[in-house]
Amino acid sequence: MCILVDRNTRVIVQGITGTVGSFQTKVMLDYGTKVVAGVTPGKGGQEVHGVPVYDLVEDAMEENGGEAVICFVPGPFAADAALEDIEAGLGLVVITAEGVPLQDVMRVMNLAADRGVSIIGPDTAGVISPGRCKLGVHPHRLFMEGGVGVISKSGALSYEVSKALTESGLGQSTVVGIGGGPMWGLTQVDALEMFEEDEETEGIVLLGEIGGTMEEEAAEYIREHVSKPVVALIVGRHAPEGERMGHAGAIIQHGRGLADGKIKALRSAGVHVVKGPREIPNVIKSLL
Amino acid sequence: MRLYEFQAKEMFAKHGIKIPRGRVVDTSEQAVDIAKELGVPVAVKAQIRVGGRGLAGGIKFARNPEEAKELAAGILGGTLKKEDVDRVLVEEKIPIESEYFAGVTIDYQRKALAVIASSRGGVDIESIALEHPGEIVKEEVDPSIGLTDFGARRIGKKVGLEGRNMLSFANTLKSLYSILLGYDATLVEANPLALAADGSFVAVDAKIVLDDNASFRHRELFSELETHRKTPSEGAGLRKALAEKAEIPTYIERGGNMGIIADGAGTGMLTLDLTRDHGGDVETYCELGGRANPELIEEAMKIVLSNEKVCFLLINLIGGLNRMDEMAKGITSYLSKEKGLKHEPGAQIVVRMSGTLEEEGRMILREAGVDSFDNIYEAIEKAVGLARRS
């Protein structure tokens, strides 16, 4: 098994007719993802790489079904697109856009929680279960099917680490990008819980960064509930205080959110914390 | 975007919150005129957009217009907390009975709006939390219902107010809340919110942070606020402003001889960490986000390399959405123009490229005579090696 998405996940692509949406749809189809429909308001009736396009998500769902959606709609319109997905009854919504107004994100998260819908993102690369389903923009050649679960705030950092794992012969069960914050749908704790339960996952890599308290909460959760080995990498060790480091959530303020505190919390929960990606494969191998 | 105090106060006044009488000026002569007009002791306050201004000497009090002139002259033209001060707010000094804290913000963890209030205003909320943790009232607001009148009154009661004062405090909270909603702010704060001798509440300081992501809904407001921003004409300030204009997500200068350009927040921080671990001295950190294009990386190279201190540039790209063919086009386009400009001696550039369409990207670079690495460590070792030998 793997988490969140597998071979049978039927995927809808929102914003499928745009440059990015169309290109990424092709890549997902080539990878074997079951993209069953696309949505672009006003472009209903067209086809993109053989995938039928609809004006409304509910129409796409009615004719093709679907469990998950990846949304390539730009920031200003992404929240509305996500609300449409939730209303239509999709169970998993990946919001790739950055720059979504925060009050909009808040409304999406609240409705999703009410309806029991999982949101990944915003500002995320999505999720990939290598060899089975890619619901995201990952450069898939760097990934390989296997037993390591990867959780990352940053998409690109998860590519970097998966590349190191793959090159040393360690495949991944699922790689989840949860997004750059400062508001998250799926959290590190949610993903840890899924990997702990997933039979295929033998070890977990947690990729965190400065800012906020999510890594500390993950450490607490690992201490109490995770029996599988966890290796963590926290980036931003050399980030200056008070500067936002690219992700909205990645900022050290008033001496809080420092990498040091997160590293200490994780170590005290029994997590092996490393300084860079190349150490990860060997540490994982030694723990399995 | 954080507003200047005078801008935030204008917005407060528009929404029925009392503010001290006064005006923002940019010369000490104007400061005298305003002080004379007000005819009372005044506060002279540096207009910068960072906290801790008072302790840094950015707020002074004058008993008469001459003193106001001296104080304004002392503050204007200087630098406070790394910001140039070219304006001061001159306003009446309010006789204060007691100082409260009133703020509305987004609680990211709870995914809700939150009203925060305290009877221990006048210092930042972090200090109140440290010294009087029991005296902070925090109430979550369900965004689908909004801040109710009774909810606002309840907060007034909880900070210890009664009667007319409690009602007046509640009205202030409602105004702060409607500013937060109406302008897509992430933070609206009156601190200190002074209970004046006449029983009214006056916002002695005002802080508003708008959500840049929502600027498309408030175009007029944003462009009006932008006109008050002064763009530095040279050096680090100019480069930072150019980066902001080009919509480069992160641009930081620290003091060293290396520059980093990366295409993602996480890998950017990783590149910075590993470069420092290897002994590299990073002057410029520039991160393009996961949705770059050839124009963006070309502009980033132009800005980073216009800083003479940057002699070694490490470009680390690992693309998902970012296509390496496009990144390579941006890099080669910069280099071809740089050769035309005859920058001598140009900075040495090390490129690492991996991810979406990497073969295509590598080919474009190779044709332009640029080698690239696939492994991040090899690229960092190469760049740091060059920089340390210099």
Average pLDDT over residues A224-235: 98
CA A43 – CA A22 distance, rounded (Å): 13
Residue B138: what pLDDT?
94
Q: Where are the domains of chain A?
A: 10-120, 138-287
Share of chain B above pLDDT 90, in %: 74
Beta-carbon contacts of residue B270 (< 8 Å; ≥ 6 apart): A157, A160, A233, A235, A276, A277, B376
Cα B218 to Cα A101: distance, rounded to the nearest angstrom:
12
Q: Look-up: residue for tokens 């290796």?
A: A231
Does A138-287 match A10-120 at the fold level?
Answer: yes
What pTM did the predictor assign? 0.92
Whether B301 has a pLDDT exceeding 70, the answer reads: yes
pLDDT(B142) > 70: yes
Annotation marks residue A247 as catalytic: yes
Interchain pair A160, B276: CB under 8 A: no
CATH 1.20.1070.10 assigned to domain A10-120? The reply is no
Candidate list A138, A247, A254, A272, residue with the active-site label: A247
Contacts of B290 in chain A (CB under 8 A): 98, 125, 137, 155-156
pLDDT in tens, A9-65: 999 999 999 999 999 999 999 999 999 999 999 999 999 999 999 999 999 999 999
Rounded-to-integer distance, Cα B230 and Cα B86, Å: 9
Is the CB of A162 inside 8 Å of chain B's CB atoms? no
Interface residue A22 vs chain B (CB under 8 A): no
- Inspect the interface and report whether the beta carbons of B111 and A113 lie closer than 8 Å: yes
Smallest CA-to-CA distance from A135 within A1, A6, A17 is with A6
In the predicted structure, residue A131 carries a pLDDT above the cut 60: yes
Q: Is B358 exposed, middle or buried (0-12, 13-18, 19+ CB in 10 A)?
A: buried
Q: Domains in chain B, ordered, with CATH?
A: 21-92 (3.30.1490.20), 96-226 (3.30.470.20), 235-389 (3.40.50.261)
Q: Beta B96-107 vs B112-118: how paired, if at all? A: antiparallel
Cβ neighbours of residue B167 under 8 Å, at least 6 residues apart? Answer: B153, B156
Instruction: Band the pLDDT of B344: cuts 50, 70, 90.
Output: very low
Nearest chain A residue to B182 by CA: give it. Answer: A103
* Per-residue H/E/C for chain A: CCCCCCCCCEEEEECCCCHHHHHHHHHHHHHCCEEEEEECCCCCCCEECCEEEECCHHHHHHHHCCCEEEECCCHHHHHHHHHHHHHHCCCEEEECCCCCCHHHHHHHHHHHHHHCCEEECCCCCEEEECCCEEEECCCHHHCCEEEEEEEECCHHHHHHHHHHHHHCCCCEEEEEECCCCCCCCCCHHHHHHHHHHCCCCCEEEEEEECCCCHHHHHHHHHHHHCCCCEEEEEECCCCCCCCCCCCCCCCCECCECCHHHHHHHHHHCCCEEECCHHHHHHHHHHHC
pLDDT digits (tens, 9 = 90+) for A178-215: 999 899 999 999 999 999 999 999 999 999 999 999 99
| B2, B212, B270, B323, best to mutate vs chain A, most A CBs in 10 Å | B270
The span from the CA of B87 to the CA of B342, in Å, is 41
A30 near B CB under 8 A: no
Mapped onto helix, strand or coil, the DSSP state of residue B271 is: helix
The pLDDT of B167-172, averaged and rounded, is 96
Starting at the edge strand that comes first in sequence, how are the strands of the sheet with B348-355 ordered?
A: B250-253, B282-287, B258-262, B312-319, B348-355, B372-373
ipTM: 0.95
Average pLDDT over residues B155-164: 96
- Residue B341 has what pLDDT? 52
Architecture per CATH, A138-287: 3-Layer(aba) Sandwich (3.40)
